[in-house]
Amino acid sequence: MRRTAAEAAETRKAIIHSALHRFAQDGWEGCSLVEVARGANVTRGAVYHHFTGKRELLDAVLAEQWHSRGEALLAVLDTSAPPEARLTTFLADYLRRLREDTDFRELAVVTVLVASQAPAVKSGLEQKTAAVARWSERIARLLTECEQRLRAPLDVGRFSITAFLHGATLTAALTPEDLPEPECCETTARALVAGLINIESP
């Protein structure tokens, strides 16, 4: 029984991964569950065993992918490094993933372009909204650590970082070639952080 449950979980994971790719490539209307099944190396019936249809599948893609990837990205904000170093690493990692990680870039495409086309996709977008709220809270907490060195009020700093993240996500979805090259991601992040925090000389 345990082996069967594990196999079912692996099948579901493969379907989610295939669906992420197909939604990103084909959009809401063009995405075919037959192609999703083919990409996951399962039958169409297996897809329907796990999901009632395309809308529930998209909902699961958004909810599960943002939950797992969001937590991995945020982990750096809780390390013991100086706040400006943690923030720089977080922003650089986000840019680098958008540039180099195909799955993460496809998640940006699905979130920005595909979800808006689908009827009544709720919990997946709610998961993304909840993730953004957690990010905003963690960023605010980090900025509070160096509030005396902020070049603008804390709310302005938090807005600037959130707007940067949204802008990078939109760029990845619409014009990914405009994203900074991998070797420039840290420089880009450092420039933003230096504009927000007066970094003390060692």
pTM for this predicted structure: 0.85
33-74 tens-digit pLDDT: 999 999 999 999 999 999 999 989 998 998 888 888 888 888
**15-24 per-position pLDDT tens digit:** 999 999 999 9
Strands (E), the chain: none
131-165 pLDDT, tens per residue?
Answer: 667 778 889 999 999 999 999 999 999 999 999 99
SS3 151: coil
- Cβ-Cβ contacts under 8 Å for 80 (sequence gap 6 or more): none
Residues with Cβ within 8 Å of 114's Cβ and at least 6 positions away in sequence, in order, are 23, 24, 27, 28, 31, 58
157: three-class secondary structure by DSSP: helix
